[in-house]
Amino acid sequence: MTAPGTGPRLLARFGRIPVATRSHLGWAFLLAGVFLFELADLNTFALVAPELRKQWHLSVASVGLVTGLGFVGMFFGSWIGGWLSDRYGRKKPLIWSSVWFSVCSVLSAFTANLALLGVFRVLTGVGLTAMTAVALTYVSEMYPRELRGRYLALIFGMGLAGIPLISWFARAVVPSGTNGWRWVFLIGGLGLVIAVLMVRFLPESVRWQVANGTGDRAEALVARLEGQAVAKLGRDLPEPVVLTEAAPAKGGLRELFSEQYRRRTIVFFIASIFAVVGFYGYNSFVPTLLVERGFDVVQSLTYTSIVQLGALPGAFIAWLFTDRWERKYSLGVCYLLITALALVYGFADQAPVILVSGFLIAMLLQTSTVLAFTYGPEIFPTELRGLGGGLGNGLGRLATFGGSNLLPVIFTSFGYTAVFVYVAAALAISAVAFLGWGERTTRRSLETVSADAGTSPLSETTPQ
């Protein structure tokens, strides 16, 4: 149990560390492994869908249904994962969800019909986004405020390698034979390796332990990080500035919509819903829509693989400005640029235009994802951080379930171009929400951002 008054001082010591230590770097590689599998899995069904349509005689609507079912699982995963991380800590749910995702991905490879595959895509989605929701919360709490955006960009950027890797892997194995598509799901089982490494090397969040009265357990970790920071800087750290201990948030769904947090919760949820709908509206259907446009399966997968190479520089572009410029404005500008490019892509019928605009869309989608993933957990207090960030992300996935079923209707009724007009409109709404009503979070302590929501003010006291 944390002794009275020691929690704020421990947080002050933790918060004064201005650099990323070697421990931070080690955690970054582990968390990058989490995102590697999460981001690879995003496109697995989209990549095998053209082949399954041939083998199982599926319609575009059937592809949309299975895609949508995966998003239903992702909604529950984000919600449950966030709730579990607020209740049981960040580390344990991160490990549990990694194991769940890996097992369900492997089981997806052994399905023989669309119904069973749909069930396992739902279950895979639960583990997948639970894992993501907790990892994002962890990064926001454990990295220096001046660097948390850049380190999420680094972590996410390394994880983004999963997108082209799975695209090119699918390009190699899917056409290889009747069962080639199964290998695309089997590779998800390697997530078990990451789970084992997290058991050994990933510590519990300092902020979560302080908020839950077990801050004394984090004392040794904070002392170690301080020592590593001093060694890296070659000088002593500044004196800790202790903030007056504020009344803790109660936690739970009701408090997210209390007077203190209602505005930021609603704005974040609306922006997340339309951003995720636009993101998946583009990524999940492009291979199938290209086939419908007249390209064959191999051409479709080749074009998709080339375009998705744009994802890799996307996160690292975010590194350049995420902790320099205010995140809400950066998000708005990114989404407006993608809106314009989606319209170019939708009206294009020549391969060079499709490839260039698609590459830029893939790049900026990942740039904006880094910014949004950093922003979400920042705007909630520790007791609500997992639930608020996870539920916002999850609602976007749930809305995508409706969008996945709506997109085939739009395509059938209005044609190929109309799909991209729909994607552009969704992203434009998200841009307006962030630009008009987003919160200022860049280079600010999480405690200060929470205080701005109307919690008890945090005032500085004399360093002790």
- CATH number of the domain to which 339 belongs: 1.20.1250.20
Mean pLDDT rounded to a whole number for the chain: 88
pLDDT of residue 256: 92
pLDDT in tens, 204-231: 999 999 999 888 899 999 999 999 999 9
pLDDT above 90 covers what percent of the chain? 59
CA 401 to CA 404: how far, in whole Å?
A: 5
Cα separation, 81 vs 94, whole angstroms = 8
| Cα 450 to Cα 462: distance, rounded to the nearest angstrom | 21
Kindly report which listed range (69-73, 247-251, 310-314, 365-369) carries the lowest average pLDDT score.
Answer: 247-251
> Taking phi first (over 0 means left), then psi (-120 to 50 degrees means alpha), and beta for anything else, what does residue 255 get?
alpha
Average pLDDT of span 67-79: 87
Predicted confidence at residue 285, as pLDDT, reads 66
**Neighbour-count burial for 41-56, b at 16+ CB within 10 Å, e otherwise:** bbbbbbbbbbbbbeee
Q: Are 89 and 204 a contacting pair, CB within 8 Å?
A: yes
pLDDT of 5 > 60? The answer is no
pLDDT of residue 425: 96
Confirm whether 458 is domain-assigned.
no
User: How much is the average pLDDT of 261-265?
Assistant: 94
User: In a 3-state reduction of DSSP, which class is residue 460?
Assistant: strand
More confident residue, 310 or 443: 443
Angle between helices 262-283 and 327-347 (to 10 degrees): 30
What pLDDT score was predicted for residue 4? 45
Q: Name which residue leads in pLDDT, 299 or 42.
A: 42
pLDDT of residue 347: 87
Predicted local confidence at residue 458, as pLDDT: 40
Rounded distance, CA 105 to CA 162, Å? 15
* Cβ-based burial of 416 (10 A; exposed 0-12, middle 13-18, buried ≥19): middle
Residue 388 within a domain? yes
Q: Would the pLDDT of 302 be above 80?
A: no
Spatial separation of the C-alpha atoms in residues 194 and 250, rounded to whole Å: 33
Lowest mean pLDDT among 34-43, 188-197, 209-218, 272-281: 34-43
Number of structural domains (the chain) is: 1
Q: Of 288, 285, 73, 44, give the one whose Cα is nearest residue 186.
A: 44
In the predicted model, what is the mean pLDDT of residues 326-350? Answer: 93
Q: Quick one: 440 exposed, middle or buried, by C-beta within 10 A (0-12, 13-18, 19+)? A: middle
Q: Average pLDDT for residues 326-342, to the nearest whole number? A: 97
Which residue's entry shows tokens 């890996």? 102
Separation in Å, CA 239 to CA 160, 222, 249, 415: 38, 14, 27, 63
Q: Closest Cα to residue 145, out of 279, 20, 6, 330? A: 20
Sign, Cα dihedral of 342, 45, 74, 87: negative
pLDDT reported for residue 24: 97
More confident position, 397 or 322:
322
54-68, 188-202, 290-304: which range is least confident on average? 290-304
In a domain, 93, yes or no: yes
| Cβ count within 10 A of residue 109 | 18
Mean predicted confidence (pLDDT) in 101-106? 94
Lowest-confidence region among 41-45, 102-106, 299-303: 299-303
**449 by DSSP, 3-state: which?**
helix
- Name the band, by pLDDT with cuts 50, 70 and 90, for residue 457: very low
Question: Averaging pLDDT over each range in 60-69, 109-118, 406-415, which range is the top one?
Answer: 109-118
DSSP 188: G
Among 133, 155, 128, residue whose Cα is nearest residue 143:
155
Confidence of residue 1 (pLDDT cuts 50, 70, 90): very low
pLDDT at 456 (0 to 100): 39
Check whether 464 has a pLDDT greater than 50: no
Distance CA 233, CA 311 (A): 34
Which is nearest to 163 in space by CA: 43, 314, 338, 49?
43
Mean pLDDT for the stretch of residues 13-30: 95
Q: For residue 464, tell me if it sits in a domain.
A: no
Residue at 463 is within a domain:
no
Residue 292, in any domain of the structure: yes
Residue 299's pLDDT band, with cuts at 50, 70 and 90, is low
Q: State what percent of residues in the chain have pLDDT above 70.
A: 91
* Rounded Cα–Cα distance for residues 453 and 381 (Å): 9
Q: Is residue 461 part of a domain?
A: no
Q: Which has more pLDDT, 358 or 155? A: 155
Stretch 413-423: mean pLDDT, rounded? 87
Q: Is the pLDDT of residue 30 over 80?
A: yes
Quick one: pLDDT band at residue 459, thresholds 50, 70, 90? very low
Contact at 8 Å (CB) between 249 and 455? Answer: yes
Average pLDDT over residues 398-410: 79
Q: What is the mean pLDDT of residues 338-343?
A: 95
Confidence of residue 365 (pLDDT cuts 50, 70, 90): very high
**Among the listed residues 137, 160, 216, the one whose alpha carbon sits nearest the alpha carbon of residue 392:** 137
pLDDT, tens digit (0-9, with 9 covering 90-100), for 141-199: 999 999 999 999 999 989 878 877 888 899 899 998 899 999 999 999 999 999 999 99
Q: Among 320, 365, 389, 420, which Cα is nearest to 140's? A: 389
Residue 459 placed within a domain: no
Selection from 382, 453, 329 nearest residue 15 by Cα: 382
Note down the domain range covering 85: 6-451
Amino acid identity at 377: P
409 pLDDT higher than 90: no
